[in-house]
């Protein structure tokens, strides 16, 4: 046991000695700002962003208000960006934009600032505030740099981000539908269609608006049914006029026939009688 302990501590001592004698630690002990600056650039170029960041952070105060201060801030932000810390890189890049508005590095900074929001954008089921920030930042970049070779990438990113907004609006509205809150579902679907008329979910949302309207009418108190069945008929025409060959067309036709029967019957009888036993949907 003693022999094993001796070997273990010997290995630890050797490891500490190796680390202590590493080129990076020697560089820190030497404390030469010029060598540290050059080494930081070299580490960055080699993809060792962790060591580069340590060095840039160490020397930043020494080069404050010098010709290198903007370069060091640029590389510091890049190190965080390359390591996936987009929150920190966004703060640094935003400060860079305010401080060095004429820098030749500004275009690259603004691109990474925008893309940081893109990479931070969550899945459609979650809050899309960051997605909106990404769309705004990328659009701003494209306006400022209309000849940038990165415009193609920006267009693809915007399309993907807008897709998340389409999905989010559809998911929210469909949640009301699935929980049988049909009045809320109708409002949510209509709002989503008005805000995003180009949504790829348009066909499905128009159909679910019809289905929600039909079910809301069917489950309403008698005094509200005629008006709500008329709303359902409008929803039918809105759907079928745009998507006559939809996979939902047969179901829509069945609802239309049921609506027509109800309206014909109640028009003939002069209106349905009040049913106090039925309850209005909240």
Domains in the chain (CATH in brackets) are: 168-282 (1.25.40.10)
Residue 4 — pLDDT band, cuts 50, 70, 90?
A: low
Q: What is the pLDDT of residue 277?
A: 40
Q: What is the pLDDT of residue 29?
A: 85
Q: What does the pLDDT average to over 29-36? A: 88
Write b or e for each residue in 68-96: b if 16 or more Cβ atoms lie within 10 A of its Cβ, otherwise e: ebbbbbbbbbbbbbbeebbeebbebbeeb
- How buried is residue 217: exposed, middle or buried, by Cβ count under 10 Å (0-12/13-18/19+)? buried
Q: What is the pLDDT of residue 2?
A: 55
* Rounded distance between C-alpha atoms, residue 237 and residue 256, angstroms: 9
Percent helix, percent strand, percent coil in the chain, to nearest 5: 75, 0, 25
Is the Cβ–Cβ distance between 80 and 88 less than 8 Å? yes
Whether 6 shows a pLDDT value over 50: the answer reads no
Whether 175 shows a pLDDT value over 60: the answer reads yes
Name residues whose C-beta falls within 8 Å of residue 7's C-beta, 6 or more positions apart in sequence: none
* Rounded distance between C-alpha atoms, residue 142 and residue 171, angstroms: 30
Phi, psi of 77 (to 5 degrees): -60, -40
Whether 268 shows a pLDDT value over 80: the answer reads no
Closest alpha carbon to 175 in 200, 205, 216: 205
- How buried is residue 224: exposed, middle or buried, by Cβ count under 10 Å (0-12/13-18/19+)? middle
Write b or e for each residue in 253-264: b if 16 or more Cβ atoms lie within 10 A of its Cβ, otherwise e: eebbeebeebbe
Which residue is associated with the tokens 């108190």? 221
Q: Report which DSSP code applies to 271.
A: S
Q: What is the pLDDT of residue 282?
A: 42
* Rounded distance between C-alpha atoms, residue 150 and residue 158, angstroms: 12
Residue 26 — pLDDT band, cuts 50, 70, 90?
A: confident
Whether 7 shows a pLDDT value over 50: the answer reads no
Whether 14 shows a pLDDT value over 80: the answer reads no
pLDDT of 90-143, one tens digit each? 999 999 999 999 999 999 999 999 999 999 999 999 999 999 999 999 999 999
Residue 27 — pLDDT band, cuts 50, 70, 90?
A: confident
* Rounded distance between C-alpha atoms, residue 270 and residue 230, angstroms: 15
Q: Report which DSSP code applies to 229.
A: H
Q: What is the pLDDT of residue 20?
A: 47
Query: What is the 3-class SS of 65-112, one letter each residue?
Result: CCCCHHHHHHHHHHHHHHCCCHHHHHHHHHHHHHHCCCCCCHHHHHHH
Q: What is the pLDDT of residue 12?
A: 42
């Amino acid at each position: 046991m003693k022999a094993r302990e001796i070997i273990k501590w010997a290995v630890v001592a050797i490891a500490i000695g190796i680390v202590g004698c590493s080129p990076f630690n020697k560089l820190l002990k030497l404390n030469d700002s010029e060598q540290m600056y050059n080494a930081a650039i070299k580490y960055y170029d080699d993809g060792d962003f962790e060591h580069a960041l340590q060095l840039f952070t160490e020397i930043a105060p020494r080069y404050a208000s010098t010709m290198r201060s903007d370069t060091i801030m640029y590389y510091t932000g890049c190190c965080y960006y390359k390591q996936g810390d987009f929150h920190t890189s966004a703060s640094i890049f935003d400060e860079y934009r305010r401080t060095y508005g004429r820098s030749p590095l500004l275009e690259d900074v603004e691109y990474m600032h925008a893309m940081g929001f893109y990479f931070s954008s969550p899945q459609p089921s979650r809050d899309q505030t960051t997605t909106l920030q990404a769309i705004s930042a990328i659009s701003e970049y494209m306006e400022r740099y209309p000849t940038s070779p990165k415009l193609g990438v920006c267009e693809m990113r915007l399309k993907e981000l807008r897709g998340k907004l389409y999905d989010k609006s559809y998911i929210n509205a469909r949640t009301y539908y699935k929980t049988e809150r049909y009045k809320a579902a109708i409002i949510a679907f209509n709002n989503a269609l008005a805000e995003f008329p180009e949504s790829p979910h348009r066909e499905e949302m128009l159909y679910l608006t019809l289905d929600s309207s039909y079910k809301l009418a069917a489950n309403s108190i008698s005094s509200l049914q005629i008006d709500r069945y008329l709303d359902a008929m409008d929803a039918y025409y809105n759907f079928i006029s745009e998507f006559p060959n939809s996979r939902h067309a047969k179901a829509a036709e069945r609802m239309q026939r049921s609506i027509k029967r109800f309206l014909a019957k109640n028009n003939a009888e002069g209106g349905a009688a009040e049913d106090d036993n039925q309850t209005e949907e909240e």
